[in-house]
Structure 1
Amino acid sequence: MLKKVLKKPPSPRSSPVGRGDSHSRTHDDYANSGSFARGEKVRRKVFRRSSKPVSVRSGQVEFLKLNLQRREYRDIYQWVLSLKWPEFALLLAGIYIILNLVFAAFYALGDECIAGMRSGSYYDAFFFSVQTLATVGYGHWYPQNLYGHIITTIEIIVGVFGLAVMTGLIFVRFSRPAARILFSKVIAIGPLNGRPTLMLRVGNLRAQSMVEAEFRILFTRDEPIMEGDTFRYFYSLKLHFDRLISFPAALTLRHTIDEQSPLYGETAESLTKSRAMFVASVVGIDPVIPAAVQTQQDYTWRDIRFGQRFVEIYSEPSDGRLTVDFGRLHDTEPVGEQLIPRT
């Protein structure tokens, strides 16, 4: 059966997360103190909580955050950068149209504030707003009273500021590097040199080699404790190699399942019961920018293939160049029965 880590002090590589912390003071302990009461009043004034839950997805797991502080205006910047390009383009187009519609309404409400514009024509006011917002004038329409000058001045300021913000956002999105790493769809566990080994394959889809690449596999599962509760433990799996000076194509990450491994004694049933998950991470430097890039992929117990290994994707033709078949990066083949030692 599974060798329980809880029989001994947690490994330095592991970190428990549970539903409660028995070493922390309770809320009532703090509430009895006057400093807590005063601090609580200040906290309620400064930090207003949002009643709307916030959904955050990390791979295949979705977290629903409750009772968060209200979002700050600076969060908008992160949100805009996280949008996909079609969503980003639609956002800019929507803001542009809304601004013109708003300023067109002000022009239409003015009593002949724009020379050459038909009185009360929202159609003319809209296109005059388009010209003003872009600081482009064709000479036919122009403000002719104080009201018109004030509105056009405000719109020009908004247009100049908006153009600067839009240019900055587009530049940041174009200049931000992104790792194009392909992870295998499954994790294979099979014998390697007579010992059970966990294997995961990654491939670099860029035309350039990633430099100073670092690889990590995080293993997490639920484990019972003596108090009867369940804690979530995290383990950093020791890989055969966890960094490369140059990462040009594809490689297989390997972790030997021995007595020191948190996977020692695990079975498909035990991994399912403990809701086991794996998170593979690749961090490196894009030599073109150059800048650090990072990407990750998570796996559940459903993605594990016992008694399998990845097929060979490297070949060396007669010209001496190595050929890498990315079309077979996810393929596995049987290599024997499950060989995870039992305790």
Structure 2
Amino acid sequence: MTLQCRVGDMRKSHIVEAHVRMYLIKKRVTLEGEILPLHTYDMNVGFDKGTDRLFLIWPLVVEHIIDEQSPLYDISRADLIQQRFELVVILEGIIESTGMTTQARTSYLPSEILWGYRFERLITFQRDDGLYRIDYSRFNLSYPVDMITCSAKELKDLHELEKQHEHNQSNITPNVIDNDNDNDNDTNETVYSKSEKSKTMKLPFLWPEKKESSL
């Protein structure tokens, strides 16, 4: 699961050395019981892989992977509506023509985050002149996709349960009984106990397709 936002440079003079940061501000209670009303969580948008540095010749989609380190890890679609936080996105870079540093900031509330949507495509190839066209009028457009409603934590627990079920299936060994009959040809019969048969039943889970979708 990922949280996505789109950034673009509409200036005539391009932004170079652009990089993006994302923060989530919400209340936090420490293990000692101290209440921090405005705690800031630094959300990873690819800092360890270098994907937070952007080459903004066309609009790009910035992704935050919702894993165990994410503050959104245990938030489901139903929980998102009741959450109280603010998501801050900061884009920084250097103006190519002047060499001055510029910064753009925006923020989102839980009610402004769309669960199960993807961004519309902006770039199209023009066959007549061989050029790419960027339609900025579609910058904020999105469309719904099939998306689970549980949290990333619940999804991981379901995957682990499925893996454990597959592991139990692989450990099933049949009991081979050699039947000595009076006939000239001996036959081998494979017998499964009732409990072993029950282990081979499929769990009623419907897994989503592996798509990168915005929350």
Equivalent residue number for residue 296 of structure 1: 105
CA distance in 1 between counterparts of 2:63 and 2:6 reads 9
Contact 1:258–1:264 at 8 Å: present in 2 too? yes
Residue-by-residue CA offset, 1:84-133 (whole Å, 9 max, x unaligned):
xxxxxxxxxxxxxxxxxxxxxxxxxxxxxxxxxxxxxxxxxxxxxxxxxx
Equivalent residue number for residue 243 of structure 1: 53
Bigger RCO of structures 1 and 2 (CA < 8 A, at least 6 apart): 2
Residue-by-residue CA offset, 1:301-342 (whole Å, 9 max, x unaligned):
111100111111111112332211111110111111235323
> 1:206 aligns to what SS in structure 2?
coil
Q: CA RMSD in A?
A: 2.0
CA distance in 2 between counterparts of 1:302 and 1:274 reads 9
> 1:247 aligns to what SS in structure 2?
coil
How far does residue 202 in structure 1 lie from its aligned partner after superposition? 1.3
Name which of 8, 18, 22 aligns with 1:213.
Answer: 18
For residues 44-193 of structure 1, what are the structure 2 equivalents within 5 Å? none
> 1:204 aligns to what SS in structure 2?
coil
How far does residue 228 in structure 1 lie from its aligned partner after superposition? 5.0
Residue-by-residue CA offset, 1:6-44 (whole Å, 9 max, x unaligned):
xxxxxxxxxxxxxxxxxxxxxxxxxxxxxxxxxxxxxxx
Letter in 2 for 1:263: L
Any unmatched runs of 5+ in structure 1? 1-195
Residue-by-residue CA offset, 1:128-153 (whole Å, 9 max, x unaligned):
xxxxxxxxxxxxxxxxxxxxxxxxxx
> 1:208 aligns to what SS in structure 2?
coil
Contact 2:68–2:153 at 8 Å: present in 1 too? no
> 2:111 aligns to what SS in structure 1?
helix
Name which of 141, 144, 151 aligns with 1:331.
Answer: 141
CA distance in 2 between counterparts of 1:237 and 1:212 reads 20
**Percent of pairs identical after alignment?**
29
Query: Is the aligned partner of 1:233 residue 2:75?
Result: no
More helix as a share of residues: 1
> 1:312 aligns to what SS in structure 2?
coil
More strand as a share of residues: 2
CA distance in 2 between counterparts of 1:291 and 1:200 reads 25
CA distance in 2 between counterparts of 1:221 and 1:269 reads 18
> 1:330 aligns to what SS in structure 2?
coil
- Provide the TM-score with structure 2 as the length reference: 0.62
CA distance in 1 between counterparts of 2:152 and 2:7 reads 27
- Provide the TM-score with structure 1 as the length reference: 0.40
Letter in 2 for 1:320: G
Q: Which moved more, 1:259-268 or 1:228-237?
A: 228-237
Query: Is the aligned partner of 1:278 residue 2:83?
Result: no
Q: Quickly say closer, same or farther: Cα 1:199–1:228, change in 2 above 3 A.
A: same
Name which of 199, 214, 222 aligns with 2:4.
Answer: 199
Contact 1:306–1:338 at 8 Å: present in 2 too? no
CA distance in 2 between counterparts of 1:289 and 1:272 reads 43
CA distance in 1 between counterparts of 2:80 and 2:27 reads 9
How far does residue 276 in structure 1 lie from its aligned partner after superposition? 1.5
Query: Is the aligned partner of 1:309 residue 2:118?
Result: yes
Query: Is the aligned partner of 1:264 residue 2:73?
Result: yes
Q: How many residues align?
A: 147
CA distance in 2 between counterparts of 1:216 and 1:230 reads 25
CA distance in 2 between counterparts of 1:337 and 1:253 reads 19
Contact 1:218–1:280 at 8 Å: present in 2 too? yes
CA distance in 2 between counterparts of 1:259 and 1:236 reads 13
How far does residue 248 in structure 1 lie from its aligned partner after superposition? 2.3
Contact 2:83–2:110 at 8 Å: present in 1 too? no
CA distance in 2 between counterparts of 1:236 and 1:320 reads 42
Contact 2:76–2:152 at 8 Å: present in 1 too? no
Which protein is bigger by CA-based radius of gyration?
1
